[in-house]
Chains A and B, each alone.
Chain A
Amino acid sequence: MQVPAPFEYERATSVDDAVALLERLGPEARIIAGGHSLLPMMKLRLAAPEHLIDINDLDLAYIRQNGAEIRIGAMTRHRELLESEPLAGLLPIFAEAERMVADPVVRNRGTVGGSLCQADPAEDLSAVCSAVKARVVIRGAGGERVVAMADFHRGPYETAVGDAEMLVEVRIPVRAGAGSAYEKVERRAGDWAIAASAAALWVDGGTIADAGVALSAVGPTTVHATRAEEALRGQAPSEELFARAAGIAAEDCSPTADQRGPVDYKRHLARELTHRALRRAAARALHQEV
């Protein structure tokens, strides 16, 4: 029987209350949202926080458009991301990734904020948010700061969220000419990815104005494929270009061999999945989706 080590349980009543509790209880306190990453770690005693601060009562479950931004509250559950029609219309990459996040029952509990803060290198939403150039809002006692996904991952399971801080919102810019797609290979429902690739393109007048490419499960953190993005920017979308960018992304990732496969296989997947994601993102941006 797997049982977490003893801890004290607090239920926050507001974001300010949660931050105040974090301040008062010190670095051995942890926020719990859906609990589907933290509780398994606590059962295995890989995590043993002295205090848990439950934020499930907070008003942080929403998906709203605010001018040229989509704002997603940290407590928004996977299922809500999967089923949101406004989100599917603007950023189909979310529903596509969510269909493959864990399984439907886990998706009823797990949250976007929890997924990002867990920062598992094989986690899906970190790659999605990186590709679509999301920024996250981090709240602490001193106020809030907005951090780009490019600066969010600090190492395996490490993020820019400091002690006595919490992630409260994800902000995604809405720009014209956008197309996005997610490609993932997993061995069975609910398993981690063997490899996955998230791609977003913004096409303006026949050229790629901006590109986002991020990979999952093929490095110590989510891999931000910045060289592949540079190769795409300013070019006309084409199969040749996507193949080249996918090759660069595969070169720039650093998979390790494990029970899910050897390095060369994962690198092959990184290339192939990036190519497919770019192809479909472009079709969406150009309204040529079949």
Chain B
Amino acid sequence: MQVTLTVNGDEVTSEIEPRLLLVHFLRDTLGLTGTHWGCDTSNCGACVVLMDGEPVKSCTVLAAMAGGHEVRTIESVERGDVLDPVQQGFMEEHGLQCGFCTPGMIMTARALLDRRAGGEPLTDAEIREAISGQICRCTGYTNIVKAIRWAADQEAAPTGGR
């Protein structure tokens, strides 16, 4: 079957098997290997991408179901050669060790910050809740929360994060 969707701002059309999962479509068909493929059971969150702005586990969405929708992956968050504040936060606060969970964590954090833009400051409890469906097997959760907090503070600053 043929599927057409928008990935990182570009419309792509592809001939696929209906059973192809979005994670494999992104990695194998489009070569966007920044999205990681982890547990395959919608538990770990390594494969999180944004679909119409909301984080979804791409191992549990058919590529066919993404047809007509807008998908954003980790490859889209850097602007030119300027890192997204969330990426910068992961550097500043040592938010990654092995890096396997990082793309999914960053996409979830990006959506969290976008939803809250201009609103009340995020609490650490809200950040922890937002990433509660994602696993860091290095167990670096404290620094991941700090990294997202860094980005939130940066974006809330009068000069703006980006």
- Interface contact A39-B60, CB-CB below 8 Å: yes
Residue B64 is within 8 A (CB to CB) of chain A in the complex: yes
Contact A3 B19, CB 8 Å, known A103-B133, A109-B56: yes
Contact A6 B132, CB 8 Å, known A39-B60, A39-B62, A105-B45: no
User: How far is B59's CA from A40's CA once the two chains are assembled, in angstroms?
Assistant: 9
User: How far is B42's CA from A250's CA once the two chains are assembled, in angstroms?
Assistant: 32
- Of the four ranges (under 10, 10 to 19, 20 to 34, 35 or more), the interface on chain A belongs to 20 to 34
Give which listed residue, B1, B21, B57, B64, contacts A105 with CB less than 8 A.
B57
User: How far is B67's CA from A154's CA once the two chains are assembled, in angstroms?
Assistant: 35
Give which listed residue, A5, A105, A190, contacts B55 with CB less than 8 A.
A105
B6 CB, nearest partner CB in chain A, Å: 16
Give which listed residue, A2, A5, A11, A104, contacts B40 with CB less than 8 A.
A2
Inside 8 A of B60's CB, which chain A residues have their CB?
A: 35-36, 39-40, 106, 109
Residue B153 is within 8 A (CB to CB) of chain A in the complex: no
Q: Which of B44-78 contact A (CB under 8 A)?
A: 45, 48, 54-57, 60-62, 64-65, 67
Count residues of chain B with CB under 8 A from any CB of chain A.
27
Counting chain B CB atoms within 10 Å of each CB, which of A2, A54, A189 scores highest?
A189
Inside 8 A of A42's CB, which chain B residues have their CB?
A: 19
User: How far is B40's CA from A162's CA once the two chains are assembled, in angstroms?
Assistant: 30
27 contacts between A and B (CB under 8 A): A6-B17, A6-B18, A7-B18, A8-B18, A11-B64, A32-B62, A32-B65, A35-B60, A35-B62, A36-B42, A39-B60, A40-B42, A43-B41, A54-B64, A54-B65, A56-B65, A102-B133, A105-B45, A105-B55, A105-B56, A105-B57, A106-B57, A108-B54, A108-B56, A109-B56, A109-B57, A189-B133
- Interface contact B19-A7, CB-CB below 8 Å: yes
Other than A11-B64, A54-B65, A105-B55, give 4 A-B pairs with Cβ distance below 8 A: A2-B41, A32-B62, A109-B56, A190-B132
